[in-house]
Structure 1
Amino acid sequence: MAQARQHKRGEHTKQRLLDAAEQLFAEKGFHGVTVRAIAGAADSDPALIAYYFGGKRELFDEVLLRRAEILNQIRIEELEACEKNAGPEGPSVEDIIHAFSHPLLDRTEFGGPGWKSYFALVAQITNSPEWGGAVMPKYFDPIVRRFLESLRKALPESADEDLFWSYHFLSGALVLTFAQTGRIDHLSGGLCSASDIESVHKRLPQFIAAGFRRICQKDKGDPTP
């Protein structure tokens, strides 16, 4: 019983450290945060970071992995349901894009501050030459390739090059949405809000699907997309 209580306390401490690191990394970046600052925010001893994780870089990896595993499982389930419930011709491009983007947007809107910090961190990493090419493939490339397989079936005449570029543009749209910079608020004079994720839900799959179709199904003799 005492061992179980000790294990529970240890897990609680570990989660506090992960939560604190997630928020601070999202706000200040990897290099702007010290081990001592993370421990202080978690009301813990800095030595516990070494004990539980090994170091700051290992803690950073664990922060990314913790929610990536949850997110990727949900996305796979949504894609598989989308494919299972589709007719003989398979799911539409819109349905596939929705299955890909919905779990992210849903947690951005309803998941609480932890998910907001996580997506802010993902947006930051994606836009960083230092991290984007090294970190993102580790956590997200397998799930992206699974979705691209489904899109390839929905767009059977597409060239792989066009599919990858189309995904690249989809990723950029999601990253800008996560960032919630307020740019659209100013541009629209308050008509639109960067925090209005429901409006993104309504528009993003249709917008991105149209782009996929335009690029991937273009006349092969047409040099322009």
Structure 2
Amino acid sequence: MTEAKPKRRTKAQQRAETLEVILDAAEYLFSQRGLYGVTLKDVAQQADVHTSLLHYYFDDKKAMFDAVFARRAHVTADKRMAALDRYAGECRGKPTVEGALRAFLDTDLDLYIQGGEGWRNFAGLGAQVAMAPVWGAKLFDEHFDPVVLKLIGLLKQALPECPEEDIFWGYHFVTGALVMTLARTGRIDQLSQGLCKSEDFPAVKARMARFLAFGFEGICRDRAEARAAAAG
């Protein structure tokens, strides 16, 4: 019996595959050096393509960077929104702080645990974007505002007596903890003499949501007691 010949890839498939190779190469380099530390020539060499081919896909380096970021940003945003929606249905109008944070944080951390080196490169890239004034904030606004506001809505339900400003400050601290984790600087490895490791996302997942939940609840409780004391 004659074996069927493998189907030839269409030009569209070849272009799509080449684009993925370029995005993977750019993601790795951007995660290591940031937007301004990488040239188009660097990306071309990493992807093993001619520099002129990059201009077929992108107008300039910033457009490439935005495409690299958007490729995975929409995946994590969609997964977290689905997790928050699912949790909102399961809790029947009575969310807890930890439950909401687990839906938001654990779903994201699972991508870095299970998704391979590409997702870990994106983690480092995301940490850099989060720390970039103005343009970094715009990228986060564009891709993550709906899912963040969904989380904040659940936190308001969980802490109905907590002033809105404290909910937003609490989220600000959540972001700081997550960004430091995604950056994988190795700082905790050094301080703990190897007891803890920056790469250990499962260890972070086991602790982060619960730790931060206590912070939310403590701030809101303490400030409520201070307001009651001031009122006499």
Q: Confirm or deny a common fold (TM above 0.5).
A: yes
Deviation beyond 6 Å, 4+ runs, structure 1: none
Q: What amino acid is aligned across from residue 116 of structure 2 in structure 1?
A: G
Cα contact 2:87–2:100 (8 A) shared by 1: yes
Q: Which residue of 2 aligns with 1:206?
A: 210
Q: Which residue of 2 aligns with 1:98?
A: 102
Q: What amino acid is aligned across from residue 32 of structure 1 in structure 2?
A: G
* In 2: Cα distance, 1:219 partner to 1:19 partner: 47
Does residue 191 of structure 1 match 2:201?
A: no
Q: Which residue of 2 aligns with 1:127?
A: 131
Does residue 43 of structure 1 match 2:48?
A: yes
* In 1: Cα distance, 2:117 partner to 2:179 partner: 17
Q: Which residue of 2 aligns with 1:178?
A: 182
Q: How does 1:131-170 map to 2 (within 5 A)?
A: 131-170=135-174
Q: How does 1:107-122 map to 2 (within 5 A)?
A: 107-122=111-126
* In 2: Cα distance, 1:44 partner to 1:190 partner: 40
Q: What amino acid is aligned across from residue 68 of structure 2 in structure 1?
A: V
Cα contact 2:23–2:68 (8 A) shared by 1: yes
Q: TM-score, normalised by structure 1?
A: 0.91
Q: Which residue of 2 aligns with 1:71?
A: 76
Q: What amino acid is aligned across from residue 75 of structure 1 in structure 2?
A: R
Cα contact 2:93–2:157 (8 A) shared by 1: no
Q: Which string of whole-angstrom CA distances, capped at 9 and with x for unpartnered residues, describes residues 85-124 of structure 1?
A: 22x4522111110111112211222211111111101111
**Greater C-alpha Rg:** 2
Does residue 82 of structure 1 match 2:92?
A: no
* In 2: Cα distance, 1:18 partner to 1:141 partner: 24
Cα contact 2:129–2:137 (8 A) shared by 1: no
* In 2: Cα distance, 1:156 partner to 1:49 partner: 51
- SS at the partner of 1:31? helix
Runs of 5+ consecutive residues of structure 1 not aligned to the other structure? none
Does residue 23 of structure 1 match 2:28?
A: yes
Cα contact 2:162–2:224 (8 A) shared by 1: no
Instruction: Report which stretch shifted further, 184-193 or 197-206.
Output: 184-193
Identity of aligned residues (%): 39
* In 2: Cα distance, 1:18 partner to 1:184 partner: 30
Q: What amino acid is aligned across from residue 194 of structure 1 in structure 2?
A: S
Number of equivalenced pairs: 221
Cα contact 1:49–1:56 (8 A) shared by 2: no
Q: What amino acid is aligned across from residue 159 of structure 1 in structure 2?
A: P
Q: What amino acid is aligned across from residue 121 of structure 1 in structure 2?
A: L
Q: What amino acid is aligned across from residue 62 of structure 1 in structure 2?
A: A
Q: Which residue of 2 aligns with 1:32?
A: 37
Give the CA RMSD over aligned residues. Answer: 1.9
- SS at the partner of 1:44? coil
1:131 deviates by 3.5
Q: Which string of whole-angstrom CA distances, capped at 9 and with x for unpartnered residues, describes residues 51-74 of structure 1?
A: 212221111111111101111111
Q: Which string of whole-angstrom CA distances, capped at 9 and with x for unpartnered residues, describes residues 122-160 of structure 1?
A: 111212225433322122122111111111111111222
* In 2: Cα distance, 1:94 partner to 1:61 partner: 32
Q: TM-score, normalised by structure 2?
A: 0.88
- SS at the partner of 1:218? helix
